[in-house]
């Protein structure tokens, strides 16, 4: 029953062709980049179509193509529905994107906002949370790349992982956010067509009735709507998704980069269009028993079923789809994390008087360094994909309330915002280790809210929004 593997020469050829294509595209788009704003934020003028596609593509990651089937295999119906609820993160971010753009028309990163709104303590905590998440995601993407290649072709895990990182670093380096967004559009179309094709073949070859009957015979709990662990997982995943989007510079940089008035509708539309994707990729996993497929590890279920359904040609196609999904997230994350490191760590802490040209150079060096660090962290293949990423759930969910209150409310001050993130994360991690990964984000979000409410009740920071805009203007002038 083992997976149909494509010859490693083919796999390498695909990587080479697609890699060369993305890199050349990145180089071509990079020629239009004249300033730091061009490189970091695509000139702050991204239109509705690209804005929607990039939001969608970035949110379709290895998680959606590999972890959604994994969670469906583990948690059944609630696994895939719960996963698709991560779209709520995009939808709820829509009004926030408008608010961000209007409060900080010249802003660069989410770190800028936290520092100016809450001060140093909260900023430090936020940076730790943000960096932990960014590296968790980077490592999970790098590892997914390696796992995919080793599963679908004869290529070694280390070679696959290195190739994907190298390609993404190269085109992000050459083209900045413009390259990231333009490749995102093409990658979204490839991913959607690929996923739909696999789903179509699955319906034709197996059929929903057979899937349903074999699952209810062999793995009845997967269809159970009262599956306890899956019910616990549902809202956890929602808060995890919201936390990921609300805090991450990947999304803030898009809010800054999109044209005025485009942010809200593009995030809304991308959320609505993203909704069904985890269900489409997830339900394929439910056909495993009907196809007599039983995976060695749960994270292998997606590629195993797809390759079995589609044969050798299909294996090549699956390979291209997952490679696109990985690249569309990896590039965004490289660009956004590099912005955060350049603006917040380098300009914020190391060289406060850095010029525009210096920042552009540092930003490029950071992209390369990030690639190298991720590569080193991916070397030991430590844990399954889902577990690694869910570990960060405790971190990101703690930022939801401080960000919402910070954007709209004057009362909450920096001390309580920082404490909310700190205590929320800590208790979320306690939940992760004592109950299970599927409660970490929920617990973290809850306690973060409690601390925020105590803070709002005890003290009034009376923050003036003009401060945010003024220091912004000053900063834009400096740069």
Partner 1 sequence: MSLKRWFALVIIAGISHFSCAAEGGERALLPVEQTSSEGYFTLKWDPSISNNNTQLQMSLNRDFRQILQSYPLPSEGKITLSGYATGDYYFRLHNLSPNHQPENIQSHALVKVSHRSLESAIQLFILGILLFAGLVVCIFKFSKSESSI
Partner 2 sequence: MSISITWFELLINVALGIAVLAPIVLITLVIIDLKKEQLW
Residues that bind partner 1 (CB under 8 A): 1-2, 73-76, 92, 95-96, 98-99, 102, 215, 218-222, 226-229, 231-232, 234-236, 238-239, 242, 292, 294-298, 400-401, 404, 407-410, 436, 439, 442, 445-446, 449, 465
Exposed / middle / buried, residue 11 (Cβ in 10 Å: 0-12, 13-18, 19+): buried
Q: Is 219 in the site for partner 2 (CB under 8 A)?
A: no
Measured over the CA atoms of residue 74, residue 75, residue 80 and residue 86, the dihedral's sign is negative
Q: Which is nearer to partner 1, 49 or 208 (CB)?
A: 208
- Pick the stretch among 181-189, 234-242, 330-338, 467-475 that binds partner 2 (CB under 8 A): 181-189
Q: Which is nearer to partner 1, 138 or 412 (CB)?
A: 412
Q: Which is nearer to partner 2, 287 or 337 (CB)?
A: 287
Helices (H), 60-155: 62, 68-75, 77-84, 87-103, 110-118, 120-152
Q: Is 225 in the site for partner 2 (CB under 8 A)?
A: yes
The token pair at 162 is 């290195």
DSSP calls for 368-424 = HHHHHHHHHHHSS--S-HHHHHHHTHHHHHTTHHHHHHHHH-SS--HHHHHHHHHHH
The token pair at 94 is 């829509």
Contact 307, 3 (CB under 8 A): yes
- Quick note: the x/- pattern for partner 2 over 124-163, rule CB under 8 A, is ----------------------------------------
Query: What distance in Å separates the CA atoms of residue 108 and residue 129, rounded to the nearest whole number?
Result: 18
Position among 77, 94, 242, 304 found at the interface with partner 2 (CB under 8 A): 77
Q: Is 42 in the site for partner 2 (CB under 8 A)?
A: yes
Q: Which is nearer to partner 2, 4 or 203 (CB)?
A: 203
Query: What distance in Å separates the CA atoms of residue 312 and residue 180, rounded to the nearest whole number?
Result: 30
Alpha-carbon 473 to chain mean position: 30
Q: CB 257 → partner 1: shortest distance, Å? A: 20
Position among 9, 24, 49, 372 found at the interface with partner 2 (CB under 8 A): 49
Q: Which is nearer to partner 1, 164 or 285 (CB)?
A: 285
Q: CB 229 → partner 1: shortest distance, Å? A: 4
Query: What distance in Å separates the CA atoms of residue 292 and residue 122, rounded to the nearest whole number?
Result: 52
Q: Which residues lie near partner 2 (CB under 8 A)?
A: 42-43, 45-50, 52-53, 56, 77, 81, 84, 178, 185, 188-189, 192-193, 195-196, 199, 203, 208-209, 212, 216, 220, 223-226, 259, 269, 272-273, 275-277, 279-280, 283
């Amino acid at each position: 029953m083992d997976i149909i593997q494509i010859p490693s020469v083919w796999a390498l050829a695909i990587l080479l062709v697609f890699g060369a294509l993305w890199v050349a595209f990145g180089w071509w788009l990079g020629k239009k980049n004249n300033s730091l704003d061009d490189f970091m934020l695509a000139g702050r003028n991204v239109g509705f179509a690209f804005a929607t596609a990039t939001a969608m593509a970035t949110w379709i990651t290895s998680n959606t193509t590999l972890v959604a089937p994994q969670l469906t295999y583990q948690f059944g119906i609630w696994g895939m529905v719960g996963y698709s609820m991560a779209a709520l993160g995009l939808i709820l971010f829509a009004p926030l994107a408008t608010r961000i753009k209007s409060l900080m028309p010249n802003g660069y990163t989410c770190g800028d906002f936290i520092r100016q709104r809450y001060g140093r303590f909260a900023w430090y905590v936020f940076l730790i949370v943000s960096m932990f998440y960014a590296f968790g995601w980077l490592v999970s993407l790098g590892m997914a790349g390696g796992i995919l290649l080793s599963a679908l072709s004869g290529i070694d895990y280390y070679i696959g992982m290195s190739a994907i990182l190298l390609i993404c670093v190269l085109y992000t380096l050459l083209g900045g956010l413009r390259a990231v967004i333009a490749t995102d559009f093409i990658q979204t179309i490839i991913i959607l067509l690929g996923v739909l094709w696999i789903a179509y073949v699955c319906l034709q070859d197996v059929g929903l009735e057979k899937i349903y009957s074999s699952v209810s015979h062999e793995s009845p709990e997967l269809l159970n709507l009262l599956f306890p662990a899956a019910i616990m997982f549902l809202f956890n995943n929602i808060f995890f998704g919201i936390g990921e989007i609300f805090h991450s510079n990947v999304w803030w940089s898009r809010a800054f980069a999109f044209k005025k008035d485009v942010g809200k509708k593009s995030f809304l539309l991308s959320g609505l269009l993203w909704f069904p994707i985890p269900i489409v990729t997830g339900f394929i996993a439910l056909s495993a028993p009907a196809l007599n497929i039983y995976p060695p590890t749960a994270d292998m279920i997606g590629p195993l079923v797809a390759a079995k359904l589609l044969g050798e040609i299909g294996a090549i196609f699956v390979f291209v789809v997952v490679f696109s999904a990985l690249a569309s997230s990896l590039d965004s994350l490289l660009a956004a994390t590099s912005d955060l490191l350049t603006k917040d760590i380098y300009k914020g802490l190391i060289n406060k008087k850095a010029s525009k040209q210096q920042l552009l150079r540092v930003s490029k060096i950071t992209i390369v360094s990030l690639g190298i660090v991720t590569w080193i962290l991916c070397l030991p293949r430590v844990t399954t994909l889902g577990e690694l990423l869910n570990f960060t759930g405790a971190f990101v969910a703690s930022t939801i309330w401080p960000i919402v209150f910070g954007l709209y409310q004057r009362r909450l001050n920096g001390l309580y915002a920082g404490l909310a993130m700190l205590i929320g994360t800590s208790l979320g991690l306690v939940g992760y280790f004592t109950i299970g990964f599927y409660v970490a984000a929920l617990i973290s979000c809850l306690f973060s809210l409690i601390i925020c409410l105590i803070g709002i009740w005890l003290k009034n920071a009376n923050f003036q929004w003009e401060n945010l805009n003024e220091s912004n203007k000053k900063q834009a002038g400096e740069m």
